[in-house]
Amino acid sequence: MDVTVQPCHWEGDTLDIMVELKERWYYWPFFYFKPIDRNWNVWLNQYDASLERVNYGIKLKGDNITGRNDKINIWVIDGYARQLTLKYFNPFADRSLRHGYGFELSRSFTREVNYGSLGNRQQFFKAPDEFMRRQYYAGLTYSYRKGSINRHTARLGYVSESVSDSILRRNPEFLAEGHRSVSYPMLNYHFQHLDVDYIPYPNRGHTFEFQFTRMGVGGPVDLWQFNARGSRHWTLPRKLFFSLQGDMGLKLPFDQPFVNRNLMGYGDMFLRGLEYYVVDGVAGGVIRSTLRRRVADWRLRTGLKSRTYGVIPFQFYAKTFADFGYVYDPQRNADDRLANRFMYTGGFGLDVITIYDWVVRLEFSFNQFREGGFFFHKNPF
């Protein structure tokens, strides 16, 4: 929901406060269309926006379906991969509004698999008439949230996956110890401390997150994974804002199969300017520093007779940034230019913030190899 609070009718020592509340839609049935590559830049520039590398389908998203901010997601996806998912989460399941629960059931079949990397680029194998990888997951979620700042979430699940012989011939260590299929329990704990003015795009405050993941017990899969993320945001004079963000990961033991060694460039842990590269490893981190200035506030009048969509607000921030990172890989290949060495990038850009917490980042970045380019991100971190 969108909330506006403003004073009115100030007479002597009496002040009225007006609160205007705009409810968001509870249900979103929509057509799903998304490239499967790590980011839009890879899909557009390396694969020429190929429609063969796209997932499409129907997603039903429900928010606040019983009045307790509970959410349900039903995904029916086809195309590059085939996926069925049913997910439900209720963060306020009891009278104290502190305990929550949820569950998830999913299965996915993939025709193309990233079986390795060469020169910090993903290597793929595809069979158009056969699924190369099959994954199944079933899990339960429990959450505890005493207030709005600290949040605890625990997940217990069971994973089963298999790959074709074609993948094992190209990388016998794709799964654990050359196995064609593995099944294992998984435990995850996630702590969040979010003390900022606006979570999707903070200008003031700080955050800290910690995750612990245990995969496998006494079987071929054996992984202890630790992740931490933090940020600090300062409001400066003249509509200036400065932020520092850090992200790190550690995987034990160091001897892991390829599927567990994906570290930098596969998700939100990346350096701006190295979007086309991946860095495999078992330990590493990044630091992102950004100086930005709010340059415009604009309201688009749509002409619709709607309290929610009659006026759509936009905010624009110009920015400059510098990022630094390092990844340790004991199995580093000779053609890997980025692992086990200091990395740095920089650039400038424009951020656009609008309704439903949408944040679009338009950036021109360059890296230590003097490579530059234009990059697009939507809510990356």
Q: Has residue 20 been placed in a domain?
A: no
Q: Kindly report the CATH number assigned to the domain that includes residue 223.
A: 2.40.160.50
Residues of the chain with pLDDT under 70: 1-4, 9, 12, 21-29, 306-308, 380-381
Per-residue pLDDT, 381: 43
Which of helix, strand or coil describes residue 96?
Answer: coil
Which of helix, strand or coil describes residue 371?
Answer: coil
Can you give the residue range of the structural domain that contains 253? 25-286
Task: Give me the amino acid identity at 346.
Answer: G
Q: Has residue 362 been placed in a domain?
A: no
- Count CA within 13 A, CB hemisphere, residue 322: 2
The whole-angstrom separation of Cα 358 and Cα 302 is: 18
Q: Has residue 338 been placed in a domain?
A: no
**What global pTM score does this model have?**
0.84
Q: Has residue 359 been placed in a domain?
A: no
Q: How far is CA 361 from CA 4, 207, 230, 318, 364, in A?
A: 25, 21, 20, 10, 10
Per-residue pLDDT, 181: 94
Q: Has residue 37 been placed in a domain?
A: yes
Per-residue pLDDT, 137: 97
Structural element, H or E, at residue 116: strand 112-118
* Average per-residue pLDDT for the chain: 88
The whole-angstrom separation of Cα 354 and Cα 349 is: 17
Range 42-70 burial, b when 16+ CB lie within 10 A, else e: bbbeeeeeeeebbbebebebbeeeeeeeb
Q: How many domains does the chain fold into? A: 1
Q: Has residue 278 been placed in a domain?
A: yes
Range 344-376 burial, b when 16+ CB lie within 10 A, else e: ebbbebbbbbeeeeebebebebbbbeeeeeebe
- Count CA within 13 A, CB hemisphere, residue 296: 11
Total residue length of the chain: 381
Q: How far is CA 374 from CA 88, 332, 366, in A?
A: 38, 29, 9
Give backbone dihedrals phi and psi of 374, rounded to 5 degrees, phi first: -95, 135
CA-derived radius of gyration, the chain: 23
Q: Has residue 365 been placed in a domain?
A: no
